[in-house]
A and B are shown apart, each in its own frame.
Chain A
Amino acid sequence: KAGVTQTPRYLIKTRGQQVTLSCSPISGHRSVSWYQQTPGQGLQFLFEYFSETQRNKGNFPGRFSGRQFSNSRSEMNVSTLELGDSALYLCASSNPGLVNYEQYFGPGTRLTVT
Chain B
Amino acid sequence: QKEVEQNSGPLSVPEGAIASLNCTYSDRVSQSFFWYRQYSGKSPELIMSIYSNGDKEDGRFTAQLNKASQYVSLLIRDSQPSDSATYLCAVNEDSNYQLIWGAGTKLIIKP
Contact = CB atoms under 8 A, between A and B. Distances in A.
A48 interface: yes
The binding surface of chain B is classed by DSSP as: loop
B98 A100 contact: no
A103 B97 contact: no
26 contacts: A33-B98, A42-B102, A42-B103, A43-B101, A45-B98, A48-B98, A55-B97, A56-B96, A56-B97, A56-B98, A88-B43, A90-B44, A99-B32, A100-B32, A100-B51, A101-B92, A101-B94, A102-B34, A102-B46, A103-B46, A103-B99, A105-B43, A106-B43, A107-B43, A108-B42, A108-B43
Contacts, number: 52
Given A50-B97, A101-B94, A102-B46, 15 more contacts: A31-B97, A43-B44, A48-B97, A56-B96, A56-B97, A56-B98, A100-B32, A102-B34, A102-B49, A103-B34, A104-B46, A105-B43, A105-B44, A107-B42, A107-B43
B36 to A, nearest CB: 8
B90 to A, nearest CB: 8
Contacts of B102: 42
